[in-house]
Amino acid sequence: MKDKWPPIENISFYDCPILKKLGIDFIASHTIKGIKAENDWWKELEWQDTSFHLRLQAHFTPICDDDL
Question: Is there a domain that residue 2 lies in?
Answer: no
Separation of alpha carbons 29 and 37, rounded Å: 16
pLDDT in tens, 8-63: 899 899 999 999 988 776 666 778 899 999 999 999 999 888 888 888 999 999 99
Q: Is residue 4 part of a domain?
A: no
Q: Under 8 Å CB-to-CB from 54, ≥6 apart: which residues? A: none
Residue 31 domain flag: yes
Contacts of 16 (CB under 8 A, 6+ apart): 37, 41
- Asked whether residue 21 is domain-assigned, the answer is no
Distance CA 33, CA 11 (A): 9
Number of domains in the chain: 1
> Does the residue 53 lie in any domain?
yes
